Structure 1
Amino acid sequence: MNHRAIKAIYLFEMARTWRTLMQSIVSPVLSTSLYFIVFGAAIGSRIDQIEGVSYGSFIVPGLIMLSVLTQSVANASFGIYFPKFTGTIYEILSAPVSFLEIALGYVGAAATKSIILGLIILATAWLFVPLKIAHPLWMLSFLVLTSVAFSLLGFIIGIWADGFEKLQIVPLLIITPLTFLGGSFYSISMLPPIWQTIALFNPVVYLVSGFRWSFYEISDVDIGISVAATCGFLLAGMAVVWWIFKTGYRLKA
């Protein structure tokens, strides 16, 4: 394992975060704060409780997941796409660095950014609503697994994209709608039976449900299923990345 190569890629990507602090950290935190104000105060005042938890507190895990998912994909996709765009990706591919080391550097940096963002949003939430975390270790585990899994997805999107426009297609048209429909702002038990069944085909439901369970011990699906779904998504992403580097898909002329 070439630890020096992993460290070089990782530190380079992390340095880009500090250069674009407003876009990488401040902007998502401000956007999430607006969600707290609109949903927590305006709408939350009209909803008493959901399964014994105040509405403002109930949506905190969903809001964190919303930011983590979108930022993981955005950071990882741009991180690998830009070297493709400038042509420096060929220097990396020709270096004595394996696909695993390249993926660890880019995906690790994107996941780290998302984890930091998620923890900042969690700290910000305490300013708006009362919170309790019943299972801190499970909370951190879900946060890390989700960040890595969706950073892998972003890494795949960055390799697949052949233009800056395509970098936005999947996050805007697929991931964001799935997150909003995945129980971020409500429990799927509030839906009609037919829509509850349809919602179970949304993978984000399992991520949000498991993450919310770590806070309040309430969930829409069994915690074991949530863990299995999250790990399955992570393994699927790793398999696709391995295939991309094995075949040279969108990397080699």
Structure 2
Amino acid sequence: MNLNFYGMRAIFKFEMARTRRTLMQSIIAPVISTSLYFVVFGSAIGSRISEMEGVSYGAFIVPGLIMLSLLTQSISNASFGIYFPKFSGTIYELLSAPLSPLEIIISYVGAAATKSIILGLIILITATFFVNIKIDHPIWMLTYLLLTSVTFSLIGFIIGIWADGFEKLQVVPLLIITPLTFLGGSFYSISVLPPFWQKVALLNPVVYLISGFRWSFYSIEDVNLWVSLGMTLSFLAVSVAAVIWIFKTGYRLKK
């Protein structure tokens, strides 16, 4: 199958250019927020909790903080990217362009995932100014960055198509993703929870993402690595299936 790389590149470059136009919102604000988390959790709480799972508390929360920004920004970037053509009415030009659904998805999701990965790496570099970080498995770390960014960019793409107002773009990130991330072991290991709540925590899909990502840093895990990877790939597969269904049925693409 021949892909229309010119059309894909045009959409990709446009979406990446939007990041430069909204630099404060896209990059600077998340980095400042993460720095504040380090001050509050790393310094205040870290002074009372010196270590967790054999790692200094400040370093322990780094993967969780990166994942928190990665999930929210992936969804935000992708949802806004596809929602604006719907809002402005240019979605009809996009759908009538010589671009297949696959090419449209790759362009928007690829741009959103790229921005999220860049942000995640910037936050990682920022974290080194606060704590000493080691990455035991850098290839796994990059793999989880890529898988998570693509998966949640797909989810954001779905939200952008589903939403019929700007307020709905924020519903899922604020009311679902952020709470799940906070409760998914971003700032603690679920092993410190009572047995009953450990079982409840395993119902939270974000636990598997954070556990696998943290393992790539410190070789410690709340859930078996292969289980985490399997769950991550499952989320990706479900997201891909949902997007395929949307384009096959035309669900809200022209509304």
TM-score range, shorter chain: over 0.9
1:104-146 deviations in whole A, cap 9, x for unaligned?
Answer: 0100000001000000000000000011000000000000100
Q: What residue number does 2:236 align with? A: 234
Quote the offset at 1:252 in angstroms.
2.9
Q: CA deviation at 1:95?
A: 1.2
Among candidates 54, 68, 71, match of residue 70 of structure 2: 68
Within the candidate set 157, 160, 178, 2:159 is matched to 157
| Contact 2:91-2:254 within 8 A present in 1 as well | no
Post-superposition CA distance 1:200-242 (Å, at most 9, x none)? 0111000000000000000000000111111111111111001
Which residue pairs with 2:148 in the alignment? 146
Q: Which residue of 1 aligns with 2:126?
A: 124
- Are 1:58 and 2:65 an aligned pair? no
**Aligned counterparts of 1:114 and 1:92: Cα–Cα separation in 2:** 24
Pairs within 5 Å for 1:1-253? 1-252=3-254
Q: CA–CA distance in 1 between the matches of 2:172 and 2:23? A: 24
TM-score by length of 1: 0.99
**Counterpart secondary structure, 1:46:** coil
Contact 2:86 2:254 in 1 (8 A): no
Distance across 2 between alignment mates of 1:243 and 1:71: 24
* 1:24 CA drift (Å): 0.4
Identity %: 74
Q: CA RMSD in A?
A: 0.6
* In structure 2, distance between residues paired with 1:19 and 1:11: 12
Distance 2:106 2:59 in 1: 34
Name the aligned partner's letter for residue 203 of structure 1. Answer: P
Given residue 88 of structure 2, which amino acid in structure 1 is its aligned partner? T
1:48 is displaced (CA, Å) by: 1.8
Task: State the Cα distance separating 1:38 from its structure 2 match.
Answer: 0.5
The residue identity in structure 2 corresponding to 1:55 is Y
Aligned residues: 253
Superposed structure 1 runs of 4+ greater than 4 Å apart: none
Looking at structure 2, the residues matched to 68 and 251 of structure 1 have their Cα atoms a distance apart, in angstroms, of: 26
What CA distance in whole angstroms lies between the structure 2 residues aligned with 1:147 and 1:67? 10
Q: How far, CA to CA, are the matches of 1:185 and 1:142 in structure 2?
A: 18
Distance in 2 (CA, whole Å) between partners of 1:98 and 1:249 is 16
Flag structure 2 segments of 5+ consecutive residues without an equivalent: none
